[in-house]
Structure 1
Amino acid sequence: MTSRITTHVLDAVTGRPARGLAVNLEHRGDDGWALLATGETDADGRVADLGPAALPVGRYRLDFDTGTWFEASGRPTFYPEVQITFELADEAAHCHVPLLLSPFSYSTYRGS
């Protein structure tokens, strides 16, 4: 399956992909947030098959379970969860949302 929304998570402290990190994709509808898909980062820190191949224009959110991931590596974190909310303006476009992660900071951007 080819997803319209993909992500790539890198551990900024180790300089390595964040393997095994759980990610949820949600859509904001009239009744609030609805879960569309779940995934886990692969050995390269990527989730390439997150969600359906077609998505309507609208507001979406990626929810990263960083607390469980850091706990499994024996490291504390200030951010037990990272949520990235974004607008999908073109239903035909591919939307790549990378996450650069460390125990006490994170950053993201619109990738390609």
Structure 2
Amino acid sequence: MQQTHFVLLLLTAAAAAAPLHDASTPRELHQGPDPQCPLKVKILDAVQGTPAGSVVLKVHRRATSGTWTQVAAGVTDDTGEVHGLISEQQFPAGVYRVEFDTKTYWKSRGAAPFHEAVDVVFETHPEGPRQFTLALLLSPSSFTTTAVVHQ
């Protein structure tokens, strides 16, 4: 059991140190907040230690009734990122759910995934920050996520 935790810790550390872009991609797409894109997504494949391209995702907003409405969709590129996912006008304060189709991603790589999908639910506030980068680290049987909030 200790060995499993040690290997997972090493994988997580190695994946966190791996760059989320390659040298051929313009740096301005990957650095800091972008007023034209209030929600950015970056996904890293922890098994390969590379960006996770071709991951389908959907963004939903929760209505006051509690129902969810899809407001955006995208697919990660070769850098594991989605640009221009949602505009400022489409991203008012509220509760959002980003649904990542991880099952299709892992099956396309010959892996048997444990999760059907990864859902990340978060809330934005009118008086708070309006720029977010959602980062996801994936393996076939686990995931971790973090958000970078730009002031």
TM-score bracket, normalised by the shorter chain, equals: over 0.9
Structure 1 segments, 4+ long, off by >4 Å, are none
- Indicate the residue corresponding to 2:87 in structure 1: 52
Distance 2:147 2:129 in 1: 16
Q: Paired residue for 1:94, among 116, 131, 142?
A: 131
TM-score by length of 1: 0.92
Higher helix share: 2
TM-score by length of 2: 0.69
Contact 1:2 1:48 in 2 (8 A): no
Contact 1:19 1:45 in 2 (8 A): yes
Gap runs ≥5 in structure 1:
none
| Larger relative contact order, structure 1 or 2 (CA cutoff 8 Å, min sep 6) | 1
State the structure with more CA Rg: 2
- Indicate the residue corresponding to 1:111 in structure 2: 148
- Indicate the residue corresponding to 2:46 in structure 1: 12
Distance 1:83 1:25 in 2: 10
Q: Is 1:65–2:110 an aligned residue pair?
A: no
Question: Given residue 105 of structure 1, which amino acid in structure 2 is its aligned partner?
Answer: S
Higher mean alpha-carbon deviation, 22-31 vs 38-47, is at 22-31
Q: How many corresponding residue pairs? A: 112
| Two-structure CA RMSD over aligned residues (Å) | 1.6
Q: Paired residue for 2:62, among 28, 47, 56?
A: 28
Higher strand share: 1
Gap runs ≥5 in structure 2:
1-34
Higher mean alpha-carbon deviation, 83-92 vs 6-15, is at 83-92
Distance 2:36 2:77 in 1: 16
> Match of 2:36, SS?
coil
Distance 1:3 1:92 in 2: 13
Percent identical pairs in the alignment equals 32
Distance 2:106 2:78 in 1: 16
Distance 2:129 2:146 in 1: 20
